[in-house]
Amino acid sequence: MSRFVTKEQAAQTPAVRVAGVDKAFGKRAKAVSALTGIDLEIGAGEFVALIGPSGCGKSTLMRLIADLDQPTAGTVEVYGKPARQARLDQEYGIAFQQAGLLPWRTVVQNIALPLEIHGVSYAERAERAEALATLVGLSDFRDRYPDQLSGGMQQRVAIARALAERPRLLLMDEPFGALDEMTRERMQTELARIAVESRAAVVFVTHSIPEAVFLSDRVVVMSPRPGRITHIVDVPLGTARPELLRESPEFFAKVTEVREALHGAPVERAPER
Amino acid sequence: MNVGLERTMRIVAPIVAGALLLALWYVLVDVAKILPPSVPSPNAIITQFTDNFGIILNATRITAGNAALGLLIGAIIAIVLAALAALIRPLDGMAAPVVAAIAVVPIVALTPIFNTMFGASAQTGRVLIAAIASFVPVYINVLRGLRQARPVQRDLFLAYAATKPQTFRRLTLPMALPFLITGIRIASSLAVISALVAEYFGGPADGLGTAIASYAKSGKSALAWAFVFASIIVGLVFFLVTLLLERIVRRYRSEH
């Protein structure tokens, strides 16, 4: 019941509100500033990519939203709640670059892990895990163990697991970073579809420009030393993102815009690969 | 078909090797008579084994009991201390040099001291020796096992707002169990060896080690070998039990 009310409110409440956030690691004299002066608002259902070179604090920012780290200054809110409360209330689902699956659990058991921790009944868990396995295209592999799966399949399990609680916010830290280019593009297309279907807001950390443009409604461009937001690029390419979009002129135009925003940042550039 | 053949070979090959070795031994001792007479023939050993089955069984019970009790005590203390060390960092720092010291103690050196401490008629010293020998591998492996969960997995459990007991039961413990089993497997053979060797250095006049030492000294080598044979069986039984334990743990893990 209360959950229903918060969903009603969600129309006005932004999914994420970050205000005046600084984050420093280490103690006073040796403190290293990871983020300074971060202000960011992400609407319900919005897909936002955080992009920038290594050390720009994009992963740190996501971890602050997830309440896996706490800001040194400023506030982080998720659907109007403090980040900590949002974590305790399971307002978000999360996936990392490493799938982090438990090797002694099958695909469906891994997907059901968060549900199990939150005391969802066995029957309901099994049904939900089954549906999610199908959603990510793994229904034929439901009883396999992680070491019997390819990297791409493991990452699908991780995404299905992130969706288990039907979160209104998905946090993803380079979830496709370890995949080969072809698998990666296929996963992007699927994620675009899943994001639309679940109507969840997504915060997606990446260092791939085409990936950020293909998936996002907005691309937040960040810069290191100290970590901060330098540009925000709107990507009004519609909610459905078909595969063909990758070859369209609008797509290339946005890729160029993000690239220029990244490289035009008035600081010394991070070493290119 | 091929798989079946391979499987049969895996069982048959060692049996054939063992039989050949036994035949060679028989030929060298009983037929060719090349080896000195102090080397008994397999026949003589088997005869001694069956003739003295009662006293061998008794001795086996003593030594195996000492080893099992020592293993149990050593493993339990090791598990408790490793859990504390994993939980409280400073404790780990304090325990590390002590464990390293225990690891290098030549346990047989302690035997005479323990015999004096607990009296020559008590098995306590032998049990304690087996416990000390078992402690080290279990402690080291369990401590390492408890630290196996990767940061990404810890982050996930934090993100799920899992309680500490939930994280322990679903992440830390299943990660550590294979390491516990490895530790116990190493410890089980150490426990048998040290319980047996401890008997060479005094204490009550029973057990496999005492029998082997005294019969070897008095020239009854066939009987001494019969006791050695019993020791091998004890070692094998301990090994098989750890294998069984491993199977149980694997099943437990797949349910969590």
Residue B152 to residue A114, Cβ atoms within 8 A? no
Q: Which residues contact A117 (CB under 8 A, 6 or more apart)?
A: B157, B160, B161, B162, B166, B170
Q: Which residues of B touch A98 (CB under 8 A)?
A: 150, 152
Complex-level ipTM: 0.85
Q: What is the helix (H) or strand (E) element at residue A21, kind and residue range?
A: strand A16-25
Does the pLDDT value for residue A8 go beyond 70?
A: no
Residues paired with residue A24 on neighbouring β-strands, in sequence order: A33
Residues paired with residue A160 on neighbouring β-strands, in sequence order: none
Q: Which residues of B touch A96 (CB under 8 A)?
A: 152, 155-156
The span from the CA of A56 to the CA of A177, in Å, is 17
Amino acid letter, residue A162: A
- Placement of tokens 């069982």 in the chain: B11
Between A272 and A42, name the one with better pLDDT. Answer: A42
Tell me the per-residue pLDDT of A169-202, one tens digit each, with 9 for 90 and over: 999 999 888 888 888 888 888 888 888 888 889 9
Residue A96 to residue B155, Cβ atoms within 8 A? yes
- Please say which residue of A143, A166, A189 terminates a domain: A166
Q: Is B194:B68 a contact under the CB 8 Å cutoff? A: no
Nearest to B152 among A90, A100, A116 (CB): A100
Does the pLDDT value for residue B179 go beyond 90?
A: yes
Q: Which residues contact A31 (CB under 8 A, 6 or more apart)?
A: A24, A25
Tell me the per-residue pLDDT of B70-109, one tens digit each, with 9 for 90 and over: 999 999 999 999 999 988 888 888 888 888 888 888 877 8
From residue B15, alpha-carbon distances to A83, B2, B12, B19, B93 in Å are 66, 20, 5, 6, 49
A79 lies in the same domain as A212:
yes
Whether A209 is in a domain gets the answer: yes
Mean pLDDT score, A8-19: 74
Mean pLDDT score, B223-246: 91
Whether A81 is in a domain gets the answer: yes
The span from the CA of A50 to the CA of A224, in Å, is 13
A12 lies in the same domain as A51:
yes
Mean pLDDT, chain A, as a whole number? Answer: 85
Q: Work out how many domains chain A is built from and give that number.
A: 2
Question: What confidence score (pLDDT) does residue A267 get?
Answer: 44
Nearest to A100 among B156, B174, B253 (CB): B156
Residue B170 to residue A117, Cβ atoms within 8 A? yes
The span from the CA of A250 to the CA of A235, in Å, is 9
A45 lies in the same domain as A141:
no
Between A116 and B10, name the one with better pLDDT. Answer: A116
Whether A272 is in a domain gets the answer: no
**Directed axis angle between helix B221-254 and helix B173-198, to 10°?**
170
Q: Supply B245's token pair.
A: 């334990």
Which residues 57-116 in chain A show a CB within 8 A of chain B? 66, 68, 87-88, 90, 92, 94, 96, 98, 100, 102, 104-105, 113-114, 116
The span from the CA of B71 to the CA of B187, in Å, is 7
Q: Supply B73's token pair.
A: 């005590």
Whether A137 is in a domain gets the answer: yes
Q: Is A59:A100 a contact under the CB 8 Å cutoff? A: no
Q: What is the domain range of residue A44?
A: 2-91+167-263
A84 lies in the same domain as A113:
no
Q: Supply B167's token pair.
A: 């994280």
Tell me the per-residue pLDDT of A245-266, one tens digit each, with 9 for 90 and over: 888 888 888 888 888 888 874 4
Q: Is B148:B179 a contact under the CB 8 Å cutoff? A: yes
Residues paired with residue A180 on neighbouring β-strands, in sequence order: none
If one counts every other C-beta atom within 10 angstroms of the C-beta of residue B171, the result is 21
Q: Is A4 on the interface with B (CB under 8 A)?
A: no
Class of domain B52-254: mainly alpha
In angstroms, the separation between the Cα of residue B3 and the nearest Cα of chain A is 21
Residues paired with residue A18 on neighbouring β-strands, in sequence order: A40, A76
Does the pLDDT value for residue A269 go beyond 70?
A: no
Q: Which residues contact B199 (CB under 8 A, 6 or more apart)?
A: B63, B126, B207, B208, B209, B210, B213
Whether A97 is in a domain gets the answer: no
Residue A100 to residue B174, Cβ atoms within 8 A? no
A200 lies in the same domain as A172:
yes
A201 lies in the same domain as A238:
yes
Tell me the per-residue pLDDT of A205-216, one tens digit each, with 9 for 90 and over: 998 999 999 999
A55 lies in the same domain as A174:
yes
